[in-house]
Structure 1
Amino acid sequence: VPSEFLPMIVDEYLGNTDDPAELRDQFLDLLGDLAVVIPSIRALNYHKESGAPAYFFEYQHRPTSYRDNKPEYVKADHGDEVGFVFGGPYLAGDIQLRSEVTEEEKKLSRTLMKYWANFARNGNPNGEGLVEWPSYNLNEEYLEINLTQKKARKLKEKKVDFWRKVMLENTNNKRMENKKVNSEL
């Protein structure tokens, strides 16, 4: 991100708060948006434009096992779903992934295994007994995955619009610089 955009980014995410917990949470949002959310949505839009079906999700479940080893402000981390997708709550002994698993988490694991298996079989995660996982389309629909699942639209819409504006301004600035260089030649 070019340095001239930093004041705009600080304003958007950190505002004028002095509260350390709020600053921490907003900074974590900034990092997550910049590293995961925005690149994911850009890739999804390329898939959408190509006509290929794409499925998007936001994993929201904070595993029970976090209770003792992660601070309360840490919710679901990037990649937390992987253990559930591969049946982690059912592993035992030396290969156990999580020390503590609830019945709800076992159900979540079964649900995620069904979605992923359906997608592997036929390119569509949907199946009998599952909440419909919409394909990512013009309405930017996706699935919120938690102990229960639900359809949603436009993940972090305000922040995505902000980053689109920043990227557009960055692109326009580069074009103007190129025109200036070309006209000087």
Structure 2
Amino acid sequence: GFLALADLTRESEHHSSGNYALLDQIAALQWVQNNIAGFGGDSHDVMIFGHSAGASNVSSLLASPLAHGLFQRALMESGVNLTKGVTLAEAEKRGEEFEAAAAAHSVADLRRMPAEELLKALGPRPMGMGLIVDGWVLPQDVYSTFAAGKQNDVPLVVGSVANDTPGPAAAPSSGAARSDYAKRTFGTLADQYLNFYPVKDDAQAAAADLQFRSDRAMANARALARLQVKTGKSPVYWYWFTHVSPFPEGLTWGGKPAKDFGAYHGSELVYVFDAFPFQDWPWRPVDLRLGDMVSSMWINFAKTGNPNGAGLPEWPAYQPSADKLLNISDHPKAQKPPQGAALDFQDKVAETQRR
């Protein structure tokens, strides 16, 4: 979906390669524009939404001029891409590394290979392949596009969950090693990192890393909301999903009790789709009520561009001066983010990484 090669760039009338996954999504949206009326749909009433990598793609479609006019609302769950992006030249270099791993010497060689051989060459990780600032599909990265007011300006919903993207600790737990890691990774912000995410042992290191990633996801959502308010005309709504599902007794993930994952990455999806009959967990009345609420809000937003409605908690459009999100919990309410200072730190980290 994101393989860039100099040979492919030369083949393209747009002098670009990679971003094929985005082009597929744009083609699907164009198909909707041309055909949905035949199914009783309205081509002028389209919402796109995604979760995780899908949400990252949605944020990229908001920045792509090729997607202009193809949708009227966008919703992003736990995945806003605000990095400075990979240039076409950098992406082509990574493509050459893949070509070498596949023992190929040209695009023609790659095209002749069975899919199994290509997957074997790719390995367990996709060699850093991803969204490319190629000058055509994405003239600029998402952050720069919004900052310049060049985004596809539509109503937005953006948010994350309380315990987003769990995984093994990336930073060491011991004092000296962690301090060195902080200096290498965060430079002049190292002391702030150590203050916001202190650890004493391996268990705390894993928890601190999870908190760091969760704060990053939350800060990215807020950053996009702030950019939209600053340069766009359409409203944006920010949420934070903190409700913890009732895990079945004895359920483990990766050898750990599932209940330890809290409001984990993707935990909101069963509520979004009100899909409780399809997941055999000990659901409680509060879960069913929350499912009705969340699915109603998402549907309202899809219909009107505003998630609010009768019988639902008030969800104000985001304004930086108020800095309020909707905390989707057992008792949903609009509030300021409790970890505001940590989010401000995350903003500083993101700013240095975009330079």
The answer on whether the counterparts of 2:327 and 2:335 sit within 8 Å (CA) in structure 1 is yes
Change (3 A) 1:113 1:4: closer
1:48 is matched with: 229
What SS does the aligned partner of 1:73 have? Answer: helix
Larger radius of gyration: 2
> 1:47 offset after TM fit, Å?
1.3
Does 1:38 pair with 2:219? yes
Change (3 A) 1:66 1:21: farther
1:11 is matched with: 194
2:289 is matched with: 107
Change (3 A) 1:119 1:169: closer
Does 1:69 pair with 2:69? no
Q: What is the aligned counterpart of 1:121 among 303, 308, 312?
A: 303
What SS does the aligned partner of 1:151 have? Answer: strand
Does 1:79 pair with 2:288? no
CA distance in 1, matches of 2:250, 2:344: 37
The answer on whether the counterparts of 1:65 and 1:98 sit within 8 Å (CA) in structure 2 is no
> 1:73 offset after TM fit, Å?
3.0
What SS does the aligned partner of 1:57 have? Answer: strand
> 1:111 offset after TM fit, Å?
0.9
More off after superposition, 139-148 vs 59-68: 59-68
Q: CA RMSD in A?
A: 2.5
The answer on whether the counterparts of 1:132 and 1:151 sit within 8 Å (CA) in structure 2 is yes
Change (3 A) 1:100 1:131: same
2:92 is matched with: none
> 1:9 offset after TM fit, Å?
5.6
> 1:19 offset after TM fit, Å?
4.3
1:161 is matched with: 344
Tell me the TM-score normalized by structure 2. 0.42
Change (3 A) 1:66 1:151: farther
One-letter amino acid matched to 1:125: P
Return the structure number with greater relative CO, CA threshold 8 A, min gap 6: 1
Tell me the TM-score normalized by structure 1. 0.76
1:178 is matched with: none
Kindly provide the CA deviation profile for residues 48-101 of structure 1, in whole angstroms up to 9, marking residues without a partner as x: 111320111110111112653253431101221111111112x2xxxx124321
Q: What is the aligned counterpart of 2:209 among 27, 47, 55?
A: 27
More off after superposition, 100-109 vs 161-170: 161-170
Runs of 5+ unmatched residues, structure 2: 1-82, 84-182
One-letter amino acid matched to 1:69: L
Matches within 5 A, 1:144-159: 144-154=327-337, 156-159=339-342
What SS does the aligned partner of 2:226 have? Answer: helix
The answer on whether the counterparts of 1:13 and 1:27 sit within 8 Å (CA) in structure 2 is no
Identity of aligned pairs, percent?
23
> 1:3 offset after TM fit, Å?
2.7
CA distance in 2, matches of 1:86, 1:133: 19
> 1:144 offset after TM fit, Å?
0.4
What SS does the aligned partner of 2:260 have? Answer: coil
One-letter amino acid matched to 1:76: A
The size of the alignment, in residue pairs, is 165
One-letter amino acid matched to 2:266: G
